[in-house]
Amino acid sequence: MKRRVAILISGRGSNMAALIEAASAGDFPAEIAVVISNRADAAGLERAKASGIAIEIIESKPFGKDRAAFETTLEAKLGQYRIDLICLGGFMRLFTAEFVQRWYGRMLNIHPSLLPSFPGLDPHGQALKAGVKISGATVHFVIPETDAGPIVIQGAVPVRDDDTAEALSQRILTVEHRIYPEALRLLASGRLRLEGEHCRIAGGAASSDPLISPLAK
């Protein structure tokens, strides 16, 4: 039986669209049951509707700083749709530790850097300021700490000397759209195992192809 997934968004939902497209395949082990936004003006809501996915809006503002009250409403929606797994796709609201603990091992997030490097805001600007030659994206399990938690999958891209934050962001976005559906596929198929702070993949094989930047002769 396919696992039922809720995608939580606050904006354009580009990773949401990649997950919806992947889940449309008949052999994908998960189905996108609902897209939930904490902003009524999130552009991703229209994209979800166009794909035939149910949408729900739980505005953040009426709850103010009362995260627990917001989460009570969110939990009711998750229960209504019989949700098994959560994917965060640019969801700009922090959760309480209690909510995260309830969904530990069942909630994924994606961050546009090679964690643990450059967590938080402006990861692309952080990468350029640090002068790294390789950056990328990370899908990880959510824990109470921001942009932390056991890493499921990562993808890397070269950083160019003339990169801007926007140019690097767009290059990394193509990697995000590849690795997030793969992470969900692994989780929904039961191939992920948590061992303390690490995530293990049953039958997983690491790539043998190195990414070297600048290219070494």
Confidence (pLDDT) at 205: 67
Is CATH 3.40.50.170 what the domain over 3-191 is classified as, yes or no? yes
Which of 111, 124, 140, 177 is catalytic? The answer is: 111
Burial grade of 129 (CB within 10 A; 0-12, 13-18, 19 or more): exposed
Average pLDDT over residues 187-216: 88
d(CA 73, CA 163): 42
Reply yes or no: is the peptide bond before residue 116 cis, omega within 30 of 0: yes
What is the band of 75 on the pLDDT scale with cuts at 50, 70, 90?
Answer: very high
pLDDT at 77 over 90: yes
Phi first, then psi, for residue 100 (nearest 5°) are -65, -40
Give 2-44 as a DSSP string. Answer: PEEEEEEESS--HHHHHHHHHHTSTT-SEEEEEEEES-TT-TH
What is the band of 214 on the pLDDT scale with cuts at 50, 70, 90?
Answer: confident
111 in active site: yes
pLDDT at 206 over 80: no
Nearest to 70 by CA among 36, 34, 107: 36
What mean pLDDT value characterizes the chain?
96
The pLDDT tens digits for 94-113 are 999 999 999 999 999 999 99
- Report how far apart, in Å, the C-alpha atoms of 19 and of each of 13, 175, 202 are: 10, 13, 22
